[in-house]
Amino acid sequence: MNIVIPDDYQNCVTSLACYQKLARHSVTIYNDTVKNLDDLVARFKDADAIVLTRERTRITDELLVRLPKLKLISQTGKVANHIDMEACKKHGVTVMEGSGSGAATAELGMLLILSSLRRFTEEVVRMQNGQWQGFVGRQLQGKTLGVLGFGRIGEQTCQLGQAFGAKPVVWGRPSSLAKATIKGFAVASTREAFFSTCDIISVQLRLSKETQNYVTAADLALMKSDAIFVNTSRAELVEEGALYNALKLGHPGFAAVDVYEEEPLIGIRHPLQDLPNCLCSPHIGFVERDNYEAYYGTAFDNINTFFNNYP
């Protein structure tokens, strides 16, 4: 079968041990992203299956109608808004998804929190430029760590924060609050209390129609002037432009962001990069070798399972 893997930014898929699972297939890999419909069709027109890396490529009805050979989309991780599931059903394209542990994303979130508190990247740059200490940092121990959402990664974030001596507090859907309580974590009394009292807020929601624009300008305005807002989930969870404006106004005082509305950002700058009180990283939360082995390994297993049983 012809397998196409787009968006391998790090040119790393062939170096993964799990890549051998595709040994009996013909595989074409692209290391860049294209978004023009004709370019996508040119890449996918001979594909029996496409392996998608998270939400890096959108699958639309307009695309699928021009891919009559396509039988399977094997998704690394969970399916989100980037795949038109109704269109897949209409065109007879099966979609299979997998999952990773989420640990890598939780760890990256903790790295961003610690780096923000200690202004770590600025201090490293100062030393590279021949300067010495420039900031008086803060510790995580004793801080109130707000975790917005209590899925797998949200729970891991609470556990990691607790290990550093922080005091995790959860906000989210009633089911999330109930789960957090069962797990022994505190929950906020109200949405307003959550945003106004936490020293750090880490967003750990899944993007859906219900959660898009979940964090509003009004929410951010409630945050303390020395609070830190961290988003390693999805940019669209925050009302467009709200975080930029909030940081300009000083509530919250600092942010660390790993996700953006349009990715990849190559040759252009996101407005948040121009703010001195925002730490930006290039969506590397899940980009970790063990995680990739799990994500791609499952995606490749799904391909073999599907075609082993294909009529």
Taking the complete model, does pTM exceed 0.85, yes or no?
A: yes
Tokens of 218: 């009004």
Which pLDDT belongs to residue 78?
Answer: 85
CATH tag for 103-280 (out of 3.40.50.720, 3.90.180.10, 1.10.3470.10, 3.40.50.150): 3.40.50.720
The answer to whether residues 197 and 191 touch, using CB atoms and an 8 Å cutoff, is: no
Question: Cβ neighbours of residue 154 under 8 Å, at least 6 residues apart?
Answer: 147, 148, 170, 172, 176, 204
Residue in 97, 107, 122, 263 annotated catalytic: 263
Which pLDDT belongs to residue 229?
Answer: 98
pLDDT band of 101, cuts 50, 70, 90: confident
Condensed to tens digits (0 to 9), the pLDDT of residues 110-123 reads 999 999 999 999 99
What is the domain partition of the chain in residue ranges?
A: 2-100+289-308, 103-280
CATH tag for 2-100+289-308 (out of 3.40.50.720, 3.50.40.10, 3.30.1490.100, 3.40.50.12160): 3.40.50.720
Q: What percent of the chain has pLDDT over 90?
A: 94
Catalytic, 263? Answer: yes
Catalytic, 66? Answer: no
Laid out side by side, the sheet with 94-97 consists of: 26-29, 2-5, 49-53, 72-76, 94-97
Q: Do domains 2-100+289-308 and 103-280 have the same CATH topology?
A: yes
Q: What percent of the chain has pLDDT over 70?
A: 100
- Give dist(CA 289, CA 164) in Å, integer: 25
Residue in 234, 236, 251, 288 annotated catalytic: 234
Residues 292-310 have a mean pLDDT of 94
Residue in 54, 119, 251, 283 annotated catalytic: 283
Condensed to tens digits (0 to 9), the pLDDT of residues 64-93 reads 999 999 999 999 988 888 999 999 999 999
Condensed to tens digits (0 to 9), the pLDDT of residues 161-202 reads 999 999 999 999 999 999 999 999 999 999 999 999 999 999
- Give dist(CA 146, CA 226) in Å, integer: 14
